[in-house]
Amino acid sequence: MDITILKLLASMSVVIFAALIFVNAIEYLAYRLGLGHSFMGAIVAPCFTSIPELTVFLVAVFGVGQVVGEKVGIGTIFGQPFMASSLSYGLVGLAALLGFLTGRRRRSFLQVDRTLAIPYICIIVLFPLTIVPDLLVRSDVVRFALGLMFIVAFLFYTRMMFHKNKGALVEESEDCYVSKYAKRIVRWPLVAALIQLGIACAGLFVGSTAMVGSVISIAGSFNMDPLGLALIVVPAASAMPETMSALIWGYRGRDTLSLGSLVGEKVLYSTVYPAMGLFFTSWVLDRHAYFSVLATTVISFVLLIFILRRKMPWWSLCLGLFFFIAYGLLIFIFHF
């Protein structure tokens, strides 16, 4: 057990370091490529930071298989949006407050691009549809049709976000670390940024995979139910990369990037990942999945209101912490 805990701490350190250099590389690429922060945060960043969750899903469904494997895979799909909406948003709100109090940012509220309203609307509309095949119609045809619709919706969303931010200017960013500290080795800044991004992604993948394995081992020693493990422990571990990135951006005052990275993950889990689940599993849900959909949709709707006003108080992000605490009590105290 002691070795497993040390492995968990070591893997968390790797993820934190990888997130730091990931943030720096993404900011620099956004500046050099002339892409808006909304597009980089909501589309590009989540495609890299969701690698750990993709690994968990594939290993669970195709490696472990059977009922337990499907529970872990489906639990990851519904657990990650819930963790992002509750715990991750709350931590970003606290990071923004801390940044304001320490003078790292000029304001306590988050000032975001209204373009972020698009992914939030997508989540509010699409995520509740994930329960339709289980709640209303149990049919293979319905599952596959809905899965295809989710894929098309994500492609349409990506195209929309790109055109909304096409030609948008972003504030100048500091040089990437590889370019700054290894000029003699890599002389081209853009190449240096891509190399750094590759190193960061490798660190995120290796660190997160080791971290999830450690968490599973620790939770298994306490005889946790696989469903509870999938919905709470696994997403909490695998969501570390995007949460760390969002915390750093929130603390530094890069508000659109901060929220964009989290909402981008949620869009993936409202479209692409449910489509994979609908294609490759029996898609049998329960009250835990329904709770995730309810909490995620409510929180997203509240935040959408503030995004349309372009000013999001730090405390509004902390509202999700009440859902997180409530769910924790239901699971571990009342055995919900």
Domain for residue 221, yes or no?
yes
Give me the DSSP letters along 9-21: HHHHHHHHHHHHH
* In contact, 127 and 81? CB cutoff 8 Å: yes
Q: So what's the pLDDT on residue 328?
A: 80
Domain for residue 313, yes or no?
no
Q: So what's the pLDDT on residue 169?
A: 45
Domain for residue 86, yes or no?
yes
Q: So what's the pLDDT on residue 24?
A: 78
* In contact, 303 and 119? CB cutoff 8 Å: no
Domain for residue 336, yes or no?
no
CATH code at position 46: 1.20.1420.30
Using CB atoms within 10 Å of the CB of residue 206, give its burial: 0 to 12 exposed, 13 to 18 middle, 19+ buried. middle
Domain range enclosing 252? 2-307+320-326
Domain for residue 237, yes or no?
yes
Domain for residue 331, yes or no?
no
Question: How many domains would you assign to the chain?
Answer: 1
pLDDT in tens, 16-34: 788 778 777 877 776 677 6
Domain for residue 244, yes or no?
yes
Q: So what's the pLDDT on residue 104?
A: 84
- As a whole number of angstroms, the distance between CA 182 and CA 198 comes to 16
Spell out the per-residue pLDDT of the chain, length 336, in tens. 568 778 878 887 887 788 778 777 877 776 677 665 556 656 666 766 677 677 778 877 887 667 777 887 888 889 888 988 888 899 999 999 999 999 888 888 888 888 888 889 999 999 999 999 988 878 889 999 999 999 999 989 888 877 765 545 445 556 778 877 776 676 777 788 888 888 888 887 888 777 777 777 776 676 666 666 666 766 666 666 678 778 888 888 888 778 877 887 788 889 999 999 999 998 988 888 899 999 999 999 999 999 998 888 999 999 889 888 888 887 767 766
User: Structure tokens of 192?
Assistant: 């240096």
The alpha carbon of 49 is separated from its chain's Cα centroid by a whole number of angstroms, namely 7
Domain for residue 177, yes or no?
yes
Give me the DSSP letters along 127-160: GGGGGHHHHT---HHHHHHHHHHHHHHHHHHHHH
